[in-house]
């Protein structure tokens, strides 16, 4: 994948892009802005405004700094790749792939935990315990709980975290749960992505059996894709079934917006076509209230 980081650095330049001909040549340099007369400045502002407003609506809210930083890390570390097609669990052929398991160094995991913490704080979901379903959810719950104490301040200082074992322990304290008690607590599930909702439903049963109340979910990526059973996305189905909020750090729309001028034209076209074909109707994105 070829990424043009000058476009990623300047949102105004990134917006001035024609899908057929590629990025426009702009007279204003990111690094050496010229001195402009008022008429020229007005004309340039108008050109940039029309370039911005002529683009299709992608996201209801602009990307936050932590979202941009995470996407930048994901692209630079081949966590987010566009060299597909990739076969998904659903059998679909996707032009992109996001591998959360590649946040596998101290600095990458720290950045991911901080992004989860920011997304959770921004979501406004009320909870007492983070629950990470085995196996991927275990390190996510631990690092996010630690980062919540930094990002969220005193309100989150005493948030607990817990996780389950795939097989119940028969010695020591026994059982299949580790960490903070969920009894009588509001529990937020943290995971990497919701594909079919199966893992979330299993987590809900574990929480109920432990005497807790399921209060929501936070994932790193909302693919915003139609589920196998209808037009709702997997996240939409979870929201409808359980009546809780599902938050995500980034969405498919965010990925398209962030990379639209950095990808090769053919790759950008594939992303647009994939979104058009599979985006769920009436989805509730991570940025919706």
The catalytically annotated residue of 171, 208, 240, 269 is 171
Q: Where are the beta strands (DSSP E) in the chain?
A: 17-18, 22-23, 80-81, 86-87, 93-94, 97-98, 129-132, 160-169, 175-179, 186-193, 213-222, 245-251
Kindly tell me the burial class for residue 234, based on how many C-beta atoms sit within 10 Å of its own C-beta (0-12, 13-18, 19 or more).
buried
The catalytically annotated residue of 17, 81, 155, 169 is 169
Cα 23-28-33 angle, rounded to 5 deg: 145
Kindly tell me the burial class for residue 276, based on how many C-beta atoms sit within 10 Å of its own C-beta (0-12, 13-18, 19 or more).
exposed
Cβ-contact 151, 118 below 8 angstroms: yes
Query: What is the C-alpha to C-alpha distance for residues 141 and 265, in angstroms, rounded to an integer?
Result: 38
- Catalytic: 171? yes
- Catalytic: 17? no
Q: Which residues pair with 78 in a beta bridge?
A: none
Catalogue the active-site residues: 169, 171
């Amino acid at each position: 994948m070829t990424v043009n980081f000058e476009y990623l650095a300047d949102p105004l330049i990134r917006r001035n892009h024609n899908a057929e001909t590629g990025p426009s040549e702009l007279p204003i340099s990111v690094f050496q802005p010229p001195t402009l007369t008022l008429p020229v400045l007005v004309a340039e502002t108008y050109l940039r405004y029309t370039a911005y407003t002529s683009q299709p609506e992608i996201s209801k809210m602009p990307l936050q700094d932590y979202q941009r930083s995470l996407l930048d890390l994901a692209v630079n570390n081949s966590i987010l790749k566009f060299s597909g097609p990739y076969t998904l669990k659903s059998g679909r052929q996707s032009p992109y792939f996001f591998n959360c398991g590649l946040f596998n160094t101290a600095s990458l995991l720290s950045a991911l935990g901080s992004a989860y913490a920011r997304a959770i704080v921004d979501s406004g979901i009320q909870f007492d315990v983070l629950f990470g379903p085995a196996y991927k959810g275990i390190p996510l719950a631990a690092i996010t709980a630690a980062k919540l104490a930094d990002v969220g301040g005193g309100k989150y200082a005493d948030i607990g975290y817990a996780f389950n074992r795939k097989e119940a322990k028969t010695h020591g304290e026994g059982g299949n749960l580790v960490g903070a008690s969920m009894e009588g607590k509001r529990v937020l599930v943290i995971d990497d992505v919701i594909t079919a909702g199966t893992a979330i439903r299993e987590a809900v049963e574990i929480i109920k059996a432990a005497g807790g109340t399921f209060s929501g979910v936070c994932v790193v990526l909302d693919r915003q894709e139609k589920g196998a059973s209808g037009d709702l996305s997997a996240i939409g189905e979870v929201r409808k079934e359980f009546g809780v909020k599902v938050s995500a750090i980034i969405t498919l729309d965010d990925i398209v917006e962030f990379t639209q001028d950095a990808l090769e034209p053919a790759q950008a076209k594939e992303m647009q076509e994939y979104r058009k074909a599979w985006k769920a109707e009436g989805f509730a994105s991570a940025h919706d209230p």
